[in-house]
């Protein structure tokens, strides 16, 4: 298999050695997206094989417009971050050029103790294409070959030269950042060049670096034709690797990384320990991917399905029998369980909730933002939370206390917007267990949003299922995820075609993806009027 | 990039809903946190471990209060002079998952690897001091040094994994000979050489910096700013490497003593009391003169056999044999033995705090991790093994805290240690002790 | 104390209550439990927070003391007429012990070897042959209150009254062993604590499932199942046994299904000829069957329907009991360390045996007893694919050693013919004692005067007997092997 890749890449290189398409006159950099941790790891695994270990600290992510992916378009690399990338680069390069992985070097030097520019050039061209996601220019190859020669001399070791050259490439901005280059496409539009297309497609659909087939389609220019694009899209859709891509998307959209900061009070909720968080995360991903990709189901059902997958730890929270037939078992909640879709899974219920008690506001705010693309502004600085948090006062349930607190006019406008969702979920405690009473009092699970009334988790699920804002939000977020734009800044017209395909297909995820990547808005953009109009950043003095 | 109320950093602080709006471009720059010596050179951070067998008595050592200003309990009393420079951890758990709970082993092995051992007397990975040494001990004469105050070279809990442990120096004289005998490298002498690895790294970084011109072509101004940041980060790395190529300035005010006498080194408490501070002093001097940056000291093996002359049972057997006193509610003789361990720890910390270095002491520029094998030795329990940290790690670790672990895995302490020492560790440990969350409140 | 708050650990804070709807009408129901506390049903008569040594209503002088100090050693060794004063002096305080590297261990093993040989003549190992030693005396429980069952239905026998007022409770094991230090007071008795800690740390898991067709709190046609689970106990963030986890129940030898009646939450099973349940223990090789003759089980479900506590009991073969306790490591180990005297425990069992009469001799081979149980709600399920209780290979080695020593003891007691100590098992602290005294200046005295089960070669290895034509254990021809012994682990 590896040999096949080597041959394919070699062929590509031979064909593209002359003029890199991206350097054509008029090419503009329209996007620069820093690799996320998962993208970095997946890319390394695909380029060098799973045997190569990657360990180090990745910089924290920032969520913008509901998606972490968006921040990759605006963040840079800090000194601490670069230091870490540098160390990882060295570690990876060391492994790749070690005796153990000799097969990863596609040629043999004349002497293992001396420089061999031809073999070094082959090595750097080969991996340069795979790592930079485009062919290297002759100058770029030469620079690495020269570096390798110097390094080889100092240690009398050909492979040491390769190591340092490879390490350099792995900390180069060409690897760490996905450069998106657009070329004029007639009239006032720009279109992404083929390699940029390949990169965008691959990271969206498979969460990894473009494979040799995709690179080939870029090199021949096929990707810039409709049938060529369709062919690749169908191939990527048909692969089981689509699961990886969509897992990454849903992890982002459903904000599952929130778990990194969730802790529950061990005095009250001692059951929340050990693998509970990772189990909850996996449950949500499994059930979502199963519906979206394996069953090819109606994505609105994500709000109402009672089918899920649970493991032994989750079975203890859901208080059901676990069958021990494998680590994960499919499970369907009974009708009267109050469970409905992803919004009543342990993940959603526990991530947006306090350590010691549930929070209708947090849940409401999160779900409105995640599924309806309706974010809520932050509260004013001088709010007095003492009444809300007083569990010993006359108001026994969280709901009662919250409603009392939210009657103040300044508070009501936001709270009325988001609390109802959370209030209907009060039948579940902060770790997602079902409860019918709180502090001895039975809980009122009714809620009203904009005149529509519903009750409990099942009612909420149905409400969200029926709200057209949800599928529109899903489409918007997939668009933002794929293009790196802030979802709040996306014009509705930008994903109109995409949304239509989605609806027409009966809300199938595959149709959404295909519709998105084949829509004109995905790879094309209007030519900017002035040089800096494409980004809205505050200008700083350049030095 | 529009900055509005919704652009937030969420979830940066454990569990609470703290939310910050920050200006983007500066958001993740952090100071290096390394102290600068009087000459302007950076001082390396050092790491030490201190192992004592058989734990403490929970009722007598765990403070009632958590956080700063915790109450000094009876068994922590010997450490009181260093309270401000220490952190103590109670209630930390060892989760063995599918592995057996090896008596006098699973606990201490888990603390130094984050992994429940699958076999007794073996480590399932490199121990933390080795992981740390890989990074901070580059350029020092010895990567790590170990000593055992019990006189048995096998009493060493520093390993590259598996059953092999590094041999510990069993007497003060052998430790002295190793450090200051033939081959003693005095950094103030002319023949100091920089690490060749570091010079190679310099070339690599230089090549990265050279990419700037080409990469910046055709970028919009916003992206130019971002790439400026990136190349600034590259430059910082170059500067750091350049510093490593310069000879370290020994700023500690030390005098190398003459060789210690040959003495009896065994489990008798008076001998342990004589040998431990001596070994601690030699270890501290070694770190101050850059003979090493990682020093491991064990005062016993996990089932400590220290005994008070005249006591026919000794520490280990007493923990099993002594009944719980009906009025006190604990084993009184065991409690006495527990205190001896704490006194020896205090003596060790004192040696490190007695070496002036730069604007503080060696201790300020170090991190010491003290730990044990059991929380309640009588029944081989591992919940709540005492763990202490001493030293400020060149300003990267905040001290003065009692952290009530509340059942958190012991690996969280190890991860916190690694982060304070500047390791790029995103997570540590395996199985139920796998953690990505260090004690952020302790990291400066 | 970390461990004692184990079971009542599902504290429900003021903020939130979890209530499950209880079925009121008749319908099939089932409830599962995982056992979080499992040990002898020995009622502690002292005050709460007291220690095992405290004199109280159950043990007038507190727990028994054996081998505690030099005085008690002299007393114990003085009973052997063949021991010279010098020998006793040397044993009690080995000369020049401070010159040994590990003086504490030297003493431990020297004492251990000494107390292993307390026969009426030299050369008899008295943990294997307890009948050959004088009865050192084991103080018995003097109080009248005990948990357990009236096993023979006779109120006049047994001599105990239960805390609920039931008369004629038969728990003769409590009477015999209730003042034994390591088992007196679950909060401080070292072996009781130890076995429960090990169980909670995953050594073994016992599960119970109760089912019926009427009502969980009142049902006269209920079923109780008890057995092992291969799934380890899961503990929550406070190190208590976590509720509501699923556990498989395997139908191994220790699985039992019983009919039961439930009245106001009190579950009482029928009494059956043989009730097989998992055995208590703190080492893996102790895992096995506790077969209670005329056994039954009683559990009280808490008012909130969650936790349960109770007892399982019956008559057990007292030689089984004796060997399970004595040879967990070696007889001397628990003797010196935990102040038990297995010889005294043997005689106490013999005196108090009150059941399972041998048809030929009429002598009681069994003793009445009970285990106490505290359990936490769990989902007990039948395995989807065949499952077995974990029996790792290393444990098999130890188990073989145990079986050999037990077989020797049983044969000795039954036939009254002195049996040798099986070699390679570590019993009699052999060769641990020889190895530990290697750097003791006065070691030759002990090597000359002490009995030993066997000999060591010049390399210090035990000289094993030549394998017979049908080897009893897997032995490579010509190569001495050792069955795992107490040496392999520490005190």
pLDDT digits (tens, 9 = 90+) for A478-527: 999 999 999 999 888 888 889 999 999 999 999 999 999 999 989 998 88
The pair of structure tokens assigned to A111 is 């002497």
| DSSP 8-state code for residue A67 | B
Which of A82, A172, A258 lies closest to B233 in CB terms? A82
Which of A86, A261, A486 lies closest to B237 in CB terms? A86
- The answer to whether B15 faces chain C, any CB pair under 8 Å, is no
**In the predicted model, is pLDDT for residue B196 greater than 90?**
no
> Of C349, C381, C413, which marks where a domain is finished?
C381
- Nearest CA to C254 among C83, C371, C342? C371
- The kind and range of the H/E element at B25 are none
Q: How many CB atoms lie within 10 A of CB C23?
A: 12
Cα angle at B365 between B361 and B368, to 5 degrees?
100
Residue C13 lies in a domain: no
DSSP annotation string for C186-243: TTT-HHHHHHHHHHHTTS-EEEEEEEESS-TTSEEEEEEEEEEESSPPPB-TTSSBPT
Contact C337 B321 (CB under 8 A): yes
- The answer to whether B227 faces chain A, any CB pair under 8 Å, is yes
**In the predicted model, is pLDDT for residue B19 greater than 60?**
no
- Whole-number pLDDT of residue B313: 85
ipTM for the assembly: 0.85
- The answer to whether B10 faces chain A, any CB pair under 8 Å, is yes
Q: Are residues C116 and C35 in the same domain?
A: no
- Whole-number pLDDT of residue A404: 73
- Whole-number pLDDT of residue A25: 55
**Which of B106, B306, B324 would best serve as a mutation to test chain C binding (most C beta carbons within 10 A)?**
B324
Chain B: residue nearest A532 by CA? B220
Neighbours of chain C (3+ CB pairs under 8 A): A, B
**Chain A residues closer than 8 Å to B226 by CB:** 32, 74-76
Between strands B294-298 and B46-51, the pairing is: parallel
Residue C349 lies in a domain: yes
Total residue count of chain B as it appears in this document? 444
Q: Strands, E, within A253-408: which ranges?
A: 307-310, 329-332
Contact B25 A76 (CB under 8 A): yes
- The kind and range of the H/E element at C319 are helix C318-326
Q: How many CB atoms lie within 10 A of CB A405?
A: 20
Contact A321 C381 (CB under 8 A): yes
Strand partners, C274: C293
Total residue count of chain A as it appears in this document? 543
**Chain B residues closer than 8 Å to A63 by CB:** 8, 10
Our CA-based measurement puts residue C338 at a distance from the nearest CA of chain B, in whole angstroms, of 6
C193, B378 in Cβ contact below 8 A? yes
Using only C-alpha atoms, chain C has a radius of gyration, in whole angstroms, of: 24
**Chain A residues closer than 8 Å to B3 by CB:** 538
- Whole-number pLDDT of residue A402: 79
Which of C16, C237, C244 lies closest to A438 in CB terms? C16
Contact B323 C188 (CB under 8 A): yes
What 3 state SS string does A148-168 have? HHHHHHHHCCHHHHHHHHHHH
Contact C242 A322 (CB under 8 A): no
| Per-position pLDDT tens, chain C of length 491 | 444 443 334 444 333 334 444 445 678 999 999 999 999 999 998 888 788 888 898 999 888 889 988 999 999 999 999 999 999 999 999 999 988 888 899 999 999 999 999 999 999 999 999 999 999 999 999 999 999 999 999 999 999 999 999 999 999 999 999 999 999 988 888 999 999 999 998 899 999 999 999 999 999 999 999 999 999 999 988 889 999 999 999 998 889 999 999 999 999 999 999 999 999 999 888 888 999 999 999 999 998 889 999 999 999 999 999 999 999 999 999 999 999 999 999 999 999 999 999 999 999 999 999 999 999 999 999 998 888 887 777 788 888 999 999 999 999 999 999 999 999 899 999 999 999 999 999 999 999 999 999 998 888 888 888 776 654 555 444 444 444 444 444 44
The pair of structure tokens assigned to C485 is 């012994």
**In the predicted model, is pLDDT for residue B24 greater than 60?**
no
Whole-number Å distance between alpha carbons of B439 and B431: 19
**Chain B residues closer than 8 Å to A486 by CB:** 2
**Chain A residues closer than 8 Å to C231 by CB:** 312, 324
Size of interface B-C (CB pairs under 8 A): 102
Sequence ranges of the domains in chain A: 2-178, 248-466
The pair of structure tokens assigned to A278 is 């990772």
> Of C381, C416, C448, which marks where a domain is finished?
C381
The pair of structure tokens assigned to A25 is 């006159």
With a CB cutoff of 8 Å and minimum separation 6, the contacts of A170 are A85, A88, A89, A92, A93, A131
What 3 state SS string does C146-168 have? CCCECCCCCCCCCCEECCCCCEE
Q: What is the dihedral of CA B298, B299, B300, B302, to 10 degrees?
A: -60
Contact B207 A168 (CB under 8 A): yes
Burial class (CB in 10 A: 0-12, 13-18, 19+), C45: buried
Q: How many CB atoms lie within 10 A of CB A234?
A: 11
Sequence ranges of the domains in chain B: 38-191+252-442
**Chain A residues closer than 8 Å to B425 by CB:** 56-57
Between strands B402-404 and C29-40, the pairing is: unpaired
- Whole-number pLDDT of residue A3: 66
> Of C381, C401, C434, which marks where a domain is finished?
C381
**Which of C6, C51, C191, C398 would best serve as a mutation to test chain B binding (most B beta carbons within 10 A)?**
C51
Mean pLDDT of B302-309: 91
**Superfamily of chain region B38-191+252-442:** Alkaline Phosphatase, subunit A (3.40.720.10)
- Nearest CA to A145 among A174, A165, A171? A165
Low-confidence ranges of chain A (pLDDT < 50): 16-23, 530-543
The pair of structure tokens assigned to A122 is 């082959």
Residue C387 lies in a domain: no
pLDDT one-digit tens code per residue, A36-91: 999 999 999 999 999 999 988 888 778 899 999 999 998 888 887 898 899 899 99
Q: How many CB atoms lie within 10 A of CB A139?
A: 8
A79, B232 in Cβ contact below 8 A? yes
Query: What is the helix, strand, coil percentage profile of chain B, to 5?
Result: 35, 15, 50
Chain B: residue nearest A82 by CA? B233
- For chain C, the residues whose C-beta falls within 8 A of a C-beta of chain A are 9-11, 13-21, 231, 234-238, 240, 242-246, 248, 379, 381, 383-385, 387
**Chain B residues closer than 8 Å to C339 by CB:** 321
- Whole-number pLDDT of residue B21: 27
Q: How many CB atoms lie within 10 A of CB C154?
A: 11
Strand partners, B88: B388, B402
3-state secondary structure of C27: coil
Whole-number Å distance between alpha carbons of C305 and B21: 49
What is the end-to-end Cα distance of chain C in Å, rounded?
22
Whole-number Å distance between alpha carbons of B417 and B397: 9
Residue C362 lies in a domain: yes
Q: Which residues span the domain enclosing C455?
A: 70-137+392-488
3-state secondary structure of B114: coil
Helical ranges in B307-371 per DSSP H: 314-321, 332-353
Our CA-based measurement puts residue C17 at a distance from the nearest CA of chain A, in whole angstroms, of 6
Which of A29, A57, A171 lies closest to B208 in CB terms? A171
Total structural domains within chain C: 2
More confident of the two residues A341 and B218: A341
**In the predicted model, is pLDDT for residue B30 greater than 60?**
no
Q: Which residues of A44-75 are buried (b: 16+ CB within 10 A; e: fewer)?
A: bbbbbeeebebebbbbbbbbbbbbbbbbbbbb
**Which of C189, C239, C283, C391 would best serve as a mutation to test chain B binding (most B beta carbons within 10 A)?**
C239
Contact C14 A270 (CB under 8 A): no
**In the predicted model, is pLDDT for residue B102 greater than 50?**
yes
Our CA-based measurement puts residue B90 at a distance from the nearest CA of chain A, in whole angstroms, of 15
Residue C152 lies in a domain: yes
pTM score: 0.83
Between strands B46-51 and B366-371, the pairing is: parallel
Phi, psi of A362 (to 5 degrees): -60, -45
Which of C240, C243, C384 lies closest to A323 in CB terms? C384
- Mean pLDDT (chain B, rounded): 85
Whole-number Å distance between alpha carbons of B85 and B408: 23
**Chain A residues closer than 8 Å to C13 by CB:** 267-268, 356
| C431 upstream amide cis, omega within 30 of 0 | yes
Cα angle at A353 between A348 and A354, to 5 degrees?
155
DSSP annotation string for A80-118: HHHHHHHHHHHHHHHHHTSGGGGGGSSS--S-TTS--HH
């Amino acid at each position: 298999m590896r040999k096949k890749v080597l041959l394919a890449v070699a062929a590509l290189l031979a064909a593209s050695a002359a003029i890199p398409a991206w350097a054509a006159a008029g090419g503009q950099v329209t996007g620069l997206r820093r690799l996320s941790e998962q993208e970095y790891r997946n890319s390394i695994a695909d380029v060098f094989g799973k045997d190569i270990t990657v360990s180090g600290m990745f910089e924290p992510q920032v969520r913008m417009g509901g998606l972490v992916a968006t921040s990759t378009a605006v963040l840079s690399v800090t000194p601490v971050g670069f230091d870490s990338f540098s160390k990882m680069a060295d570690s990876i390069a060391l492994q790749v050029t070690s005796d153990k992985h000799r097969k990863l070097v596609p040629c043999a030097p004349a002497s293992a103790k001396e420089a061999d520019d031809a073999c070094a050039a082959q090595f750097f061209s080969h991996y340069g294409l795979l790592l930079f996601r485009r062919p290297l220019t002759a100058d770029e190859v030469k620079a690495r070959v020269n570096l390798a020669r110097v390094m080889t001399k100092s240690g009398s070791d050909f492979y040491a030269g390769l190591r340092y050259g490879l390490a350099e490439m792995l900390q180069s901005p060409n690897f760490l950042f996905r450069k998106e280059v657009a070329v004029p496409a007639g009239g006032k539009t720009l279109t992404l060049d083929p390699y940029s297309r390949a990169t965008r497609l691959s990271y969206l659909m498979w969460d990894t670096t473009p494979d040799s087939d995709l690179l080939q389609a870029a090199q021949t220019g096929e990707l810039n034709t409709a049938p060529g694009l369709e062919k690749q899209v169908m191939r990527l859709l048909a692969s089981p690797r689509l699961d990886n891509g969509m897992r990454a998307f849903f992890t982002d959209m459903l904000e599952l990384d929130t778990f990194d900061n969730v802790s529950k009070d061990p005095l009250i909720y001692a059951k929340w320990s050990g693998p509970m968080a990772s189990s909850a995360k996996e449950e949500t991903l499994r059930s979502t991917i199963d519906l979206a990709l394996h069953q090819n189901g109606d994505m609105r059902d994500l709000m109402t399905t009672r089918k899920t997958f649970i493991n032994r730890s989750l079975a203890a929270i859901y208080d059901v029998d676990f069958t021990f037939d494998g680590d994960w078992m499919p499970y369907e909640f009974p009708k009267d369980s109050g469970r409905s879709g992803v919004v009543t899974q342990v993940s959603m219920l526990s991530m947006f909730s306090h350590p010691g008690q549930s929070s209708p506001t947090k849940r409401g705010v999160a779900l409105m933002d995640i599924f309806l693309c309706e974010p809520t502004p932050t509260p004013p600085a001088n709010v007095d939370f003492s009444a809300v948090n007083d569990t010993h006062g006359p108001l026994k349930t969280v709901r009662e206390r919250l409603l009392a607190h939210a009657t103040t006019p300044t508070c009501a406008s936001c709270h009325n917007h988001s609390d109802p969702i959370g209030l209907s979920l009060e039948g579940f405690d902060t770790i997602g267990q079902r409860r019918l009473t709180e502090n001895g009092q039975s809980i009122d699970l009714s809620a009203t949003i904009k005149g529509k009334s519903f009750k409990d988790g099942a009612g909420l699920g149905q409400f969200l299922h029926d709200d057209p804002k949800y599928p529109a939000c899903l489409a918007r977020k997939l668009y933002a995820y794929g293009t790196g734009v802030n979802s709040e800044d996306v014009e509705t017209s930008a994903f109109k075609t995409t949304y239509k395909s989605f609806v027409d297909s009966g809300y199938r995820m595959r149709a959404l993806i295909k519709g998105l990547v084949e829509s004109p808005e995905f790879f094309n953009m209007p030519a900017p009027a002035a040089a800096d109009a494409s980004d809205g950043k505050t200008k700083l003095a350049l030095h | 990039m529009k900055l509005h109320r919704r652009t937030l950093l969420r979830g940066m602080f454990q569990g609470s809903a703290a939310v910050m709006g920050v200006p983007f471009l500066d958001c993740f720059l952090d100071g290096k946190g390394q102290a600068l010596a009087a000459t302007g050179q950076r001082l390396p951070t050092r790491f030490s471990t201190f192992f004592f067998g058989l734990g403490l008595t929970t009722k007598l050592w765990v403070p009632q209060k958590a956080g700063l200003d915790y109450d000094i309990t009876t068994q922590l009393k010997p450490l009181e002079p260093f309270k401000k420079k220490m952190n103590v951890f109670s209630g930390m758990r060892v989760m063995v998952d599918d592995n057996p709970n090896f008596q006098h082993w699973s606990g201490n092995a888990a603390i130094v690897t984050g992994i429940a051992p699958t076999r007794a007397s073996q480590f399932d990975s490199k121990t933390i001091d080795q992981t740390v040494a890989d990074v901070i001990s580059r350029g020092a004469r010895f990567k790590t040094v170990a000593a055992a105050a019990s006189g048995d070279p096998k009493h060493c809990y520093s390993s590259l994994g598996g059953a092999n442990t590094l041999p510990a120096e069993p007497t003060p004289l052998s430790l002295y000979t190793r450090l200051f005998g033939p081959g003693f490298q005095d950094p103030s002498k002319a023949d100091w050489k920089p690490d060749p690895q570091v010079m190679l790294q310099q070339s690599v970084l230089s090549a990265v910096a050279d990419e700037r011109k080409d990469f910046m072509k055709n970028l919009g101004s916003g992206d130019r700013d971002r790439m400026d940041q990136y190349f600034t980060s590259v430059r910082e790395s170059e500067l750091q490497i350049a510093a490593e190529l310069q000879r370290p300035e020994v700023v500690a005010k030390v005098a190398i003593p003459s060789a210690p006498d040959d003495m009896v080194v065994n489990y008798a408490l008076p001998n342990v009391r004589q040998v431990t501070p001596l070994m601690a002093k030699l270890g501290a001097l070694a770190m101050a003169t850059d003979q090493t940056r990682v020093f491991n000291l064990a005062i016993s093996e996990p089932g400590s056999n220290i005994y008070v002359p005249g006591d026919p049972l000794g520490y280990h057997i007493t923990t099993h044999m002594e009944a719980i006193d009906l009025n006190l509610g604990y084993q009184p003789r065991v409690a006495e033995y527990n205190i001896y361990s704490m006194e020896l720890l205090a003596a060790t910390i004192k040696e490190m705090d007695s070496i002036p270095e730069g604007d503080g002491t060696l201790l300020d520029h170090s991190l010491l991790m003290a730990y044990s094998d059991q929380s309640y030795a009588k029944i081989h329990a591992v919940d709540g093994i005492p763990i202490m940290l001493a030293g400020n790690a060149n300003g990267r670790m905040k001290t003065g805290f009692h952290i009530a672990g509340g059942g958190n895995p012991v690996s969280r302490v190890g991860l916190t240690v690694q982060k304070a020492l500047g390791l790029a560790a995103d997570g540590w440990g395996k199985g139920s002790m796998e953690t990505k969350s260090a004690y952020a409140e302790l990291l400066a | 104390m970390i461990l004692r708050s184990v079971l009542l650990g599902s504290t429900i804070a003021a903020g939130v209550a979890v209530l499950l709807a209880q079925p009121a009408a008749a319908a099939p129901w089932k409830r599962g439990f995982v056992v979080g506390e499992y040990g002898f049903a020995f009622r502690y008569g002292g005050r709460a927070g007291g220690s095992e040594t405290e004199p109280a209503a159950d043990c007038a002088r507190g727990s028994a003391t054996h081998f505690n100090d030099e005085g008690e050693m002299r007393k114990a060794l003085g009973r052997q007429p063949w021991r010279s004063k010098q020998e006793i002096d040397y044993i009690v305080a080995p000369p020049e012990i401070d010159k040994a590297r590990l003086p504490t261990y030297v003493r431990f093993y020297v004492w251990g070897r000494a107390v292993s040989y307390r026969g009426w003549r030299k050369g008899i190992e008295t943990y294997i042959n307890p009948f050959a030693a004088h009865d050192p005396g084991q103080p018995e429980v003097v109080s009248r209150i005990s948990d357990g069952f009236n096993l023979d239905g006779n109120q006049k026998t047994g001599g105990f009254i239960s805390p609920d007022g039931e008369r004629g409770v038969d728990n003769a094991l409590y009477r015999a062993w209730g003042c034994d230090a390591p088992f007196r007071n679950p909060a401080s008795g070292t072996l009781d604590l130890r076995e429960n800690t090990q169980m909670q740390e995953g050594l073994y898991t016992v599960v119970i499932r109760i089912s019926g067709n009427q009502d969980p709190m009142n049902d006269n046609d209920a079923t109780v199942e008890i057995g092992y689970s291969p799934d380890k106990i899961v503990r929550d963030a406070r190190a208590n046994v976590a509720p509501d986890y699923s556990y498989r129940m395997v139908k191994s030898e220790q699985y039992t299904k019983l009919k039961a009646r439930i009245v106001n939450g009190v579950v009482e099973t029928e009494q059956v000829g043989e009730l097989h349940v998992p055995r208590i223990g703190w080492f893996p090789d102790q895992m096995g069957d506790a077969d209670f003759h005329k056994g039954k089980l009683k559990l009280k479900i808490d008012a909130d329907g969650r936790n349960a506590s109770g007892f399982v009991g019956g008559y057990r073969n007292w030689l089984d009991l004796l060997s399970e306790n004595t040879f967990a490591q070696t007889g001397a180990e628990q003797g010196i360390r935990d102040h038990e005297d297995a010889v005294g425990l043997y005689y106490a069992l013999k005196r108090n045996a009150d059941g399972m009469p041998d048809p030929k001799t009429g002598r009681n081979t069994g003793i009445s007893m009970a285990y106490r149980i505290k359990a936490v709600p769990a989902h007990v399920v039948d395995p989807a694919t065949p499952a077995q209780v974990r029996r790792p290979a290393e444990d098999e080695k130890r188990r073989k050693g145990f079986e050999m020593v037990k077989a020797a003891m049983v044969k000795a007691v039954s036939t009254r013919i002195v049996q040798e100590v099986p070699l390679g098992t570590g019993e009699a602290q052999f060769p641990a004692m020889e190895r530990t005294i290697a750097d003791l200046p006065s070691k030759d005295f002990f090597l000359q005067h002490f009995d030993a089960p066997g000999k060591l070669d010049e390399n210090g290895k035990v000289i094993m007997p030549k394998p017979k034509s049908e080897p009893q254990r897997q032995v490579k021809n010509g190569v001495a092997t050792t069955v795992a012994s107490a040496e392999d682990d520490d005190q």
